[in-house]
Amino acid sequence: MSDIRTLGEFIVEKQNDFSHASGELSSLLGSIKLAAKIVNREINKAGLVDITGAVGCENVQGEEQQKLDLYANEKFKAALEARDQVCGVASEEEDEAVAFNKELNRNSKYVVLMDPLDGSSNIDVNVSVGTIFSIYRRVSPVGTPPTQEDFLQPGHRQVAAGYIIYGSSTMLVYTTGNGVHGFTYDPSLGVFCLSHEDMRIPQDGRIYSINEGNYIRFPQGVKKYIKFCQENVPEDDRPYTSRYIGSLVADFHRNLLKGGIYMYPSTATHPSGKLRLLYECNPMAFLIEQAGGIASDGATRIMDLKPVELHQRVPFFVGSTNMVRKVEEFIKEFPTEY
């Protein structure tokens, strides 16, 4: 037992890595950790109580909301507001950013952007889902309500980001710009224990993750890359393999550990792609770069993009460096064709 390092202990140990504040990161991540435990508990009841399925309404993107989408959204908002380290949140499930109006919250330095339950439609069939979060230092004056500018910051200004994956085990993975670290939840102790320190993605991989059901709508460069993966056999005779779960957190986590690329390109019907820059792409880009990979919209580094709206969508290519660079080559060769 003496060798176990909990998430709280690890954050305190690495406090100097978080140059913006002393003790605040521990409290803020403590809020996320608490909400993750609550959401994990409810997910584990799926099929036993009435928490699966749709609620009969749509979010701002026109997508059908699941019961657990709303549940997770409320639990994470409540946990973040309670600790007084966050002045406001923006969520995939909210039309607008939410300001916390308590005086202590207004004096807080940080805003959080989140996808409370990524891949929630998979819960009904017992497939892994996740939570994605991104933390920024506010740019508006402390003591005032947060503004739109606090949330519309480019990804390279993130001070921390991470995800929780609810799968065969529950893991919290985060970065503060000093490596990527993973913690596995031990339900018998009620704590997240360090299980994956300084995670690194291989420069090359053999896994490509994309919804090939949309193949005829993909840009020509992406089609060429898929054919390259299907027809090319690397020198070690290990062929490429297609693996697509349909939950960004789950696909990203697997590729982070094993090497690979996740792709959600633009299509003829969705020319801007479907993934959200602020809630999904920026935090995953921060994580992958800290793990030695890259994230791109097909031409530009994701974290260099300047957001213009809360629910902005972008094409997304993330994973092993050599694989992302290769698909960028094909996209550059066929820049506008579908």
Query: Mind giving me the DSSP string for 285-319?
Result: HHHHHHTT-EEESSSSBGGG----STT-EE-EEEE
The answer on whether 190 is annotated among ligand-binding residues is no
> What's the distance, CA 107 to chain centroid?
27
Cβ neighbours, 10 Å, residue 312 = 18
Q: Measuring CA to CA, how many Å separate 196 from each of 1, 49, 171, 183, 328?
A: 17, 33, 10, 7, 30
Give SS3 for 159.
strand
Q: Is 120 annotated as a binding residue?
A: yes
Q: How far is residue 149 CA from its own chain's centroid?
A: 21
Residue among 263, 242, 241 at smallest CA distance from 319? 263
Determine whether the annotation assigns residue 244 to a binding site.
yes
Is 119 assigned to a binding site? Answer: yes
Are the beta carbons of 201 and 292 closer than 8 angstroms?
yes
d(CA 84, CA 100) in angstroms, rounded, equals 9
Of 275, 317, 276, the C-alpha closest to 293 is 317
The answer to whether 121 is a known ligand-binding residue is: yes
Which single residue is written with the structure tokens 């994230």? Answer: 295
Both tokens of 186, joined, read 């031990």
Residue 49 CA to residue 51 CA, distance in Å, equals 6
256 is in an annotated binding site: no
Q: Is 280 annotated as a binding residue?
A: yes
Binding-site residue ranges for Mg(2+): 92, 115, 117-118, 280
Binding-site residue ranges for substrate: 118-121, 211, 244, 274
Binding-site residue ranges: 92, 115, 117-121, 211, 244, 274, 280
